[in-house]
C-alpha cells in the first residue's frame, strides 16, 4: 500500500513523490533518476517500485526490468564506457537500504540525452 511504501526508505519517498528527484524514466515497476551526489556527469540510479533493502530480498518479478532500464540509461548517456554497480550492506558501501543499480558514465564522447 501507499502507506507501507512511504514509510520504508528514502527511495520509497522518492517513488511516492514526497522527495523530489530528477526523473529519467518511470513505469509501473521501475523508476530511474539522477543521483543527488553524482560521481560522474549523468550518474543515475535505477530502482524497483517495491521495497527490498538488498538484492536477495527482491522477488525475481521485480528484478527483471531493472537491467534493461540501466542499459537504456547507459545508451542515453552517450557514454561508451560506464559502470553498472549494485551494493548490498554497509560493508559493501550500501548507504540507502532500497535496491538500486548505479549507472556511472566514465566517458561521454557523444552528446548524451540525459
Q: Which residues bind ligand 5GP (CB under 6 A)?
A: 10, 19, 21, 33-37, 45, 87, 93-96
Judged by beta carbon, residue 67 or residue 110, the one nearer ligand 5GP is 67
In this structure, are residues 106 and 81 in contact, taking their beta carbons and an 8 Å threshold? Answer: yes
| Active-site annotation holds for 43 | no
How is residue 11 written as a grid cell?
A: 527511495
Helix (H) or strand (E) holding 74: helix 66-77
Judged by beta carbon, residue 36 or residue 113, the one nearer ligand 5GP is 36
**Beta-bridge mates of residue 102:** 45, 85
Residue from 43, 51, 98, 100 carrying the catalytic annotation = 100
Smallest distance, ligand 5GP to C-beta of residue 80, A: 22
Smallest distance, ligand 5GP to C-beta of residue 62, A: 18
Smallest distance, ligand 5GP to C-beta of residue 84, A: 12
Chain CA centroid to CA 66, Å: 8
- Residue of 69, 88, 82 lying closest to 110 (CA atoms): 82
Q: Which residues are catalytic?
A: 100
Amino acid at each position: 500500500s501507499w502507506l507501507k511504501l512511504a514509510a520504508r526508505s528514502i527511495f520509497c519517498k522518492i517513488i511516492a513523490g514526497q522527495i523530489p528527484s530528477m526523473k529519467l524514466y518511470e513505469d509501473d515497476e521501475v523508476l530511474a533518476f539522477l543521483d543527488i551526489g553524482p560521481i560522474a556527469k549523468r550518474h543515475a540510479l535505477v530502482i524497483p517500485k517495491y521495497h527490498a533493502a538488498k538484492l536477495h530480498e527482491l522477488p525475481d518479478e521485480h528484478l527483471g526490468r531493472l537491467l534493461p532500464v540501466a542499459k537504456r540509461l547507459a545508451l542515453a548517456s552517450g557514454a561508451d564506457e560506464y559502470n553498472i554497480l549494485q551494493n548490498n550492506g554497509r560493508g559493501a558501501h550500501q548507504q540507502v537500504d532500497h535496491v538500486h543499480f548505479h549507472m556511472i558514465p566514465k566517458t561521454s564522447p557523444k552528446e548524451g540525452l540525459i
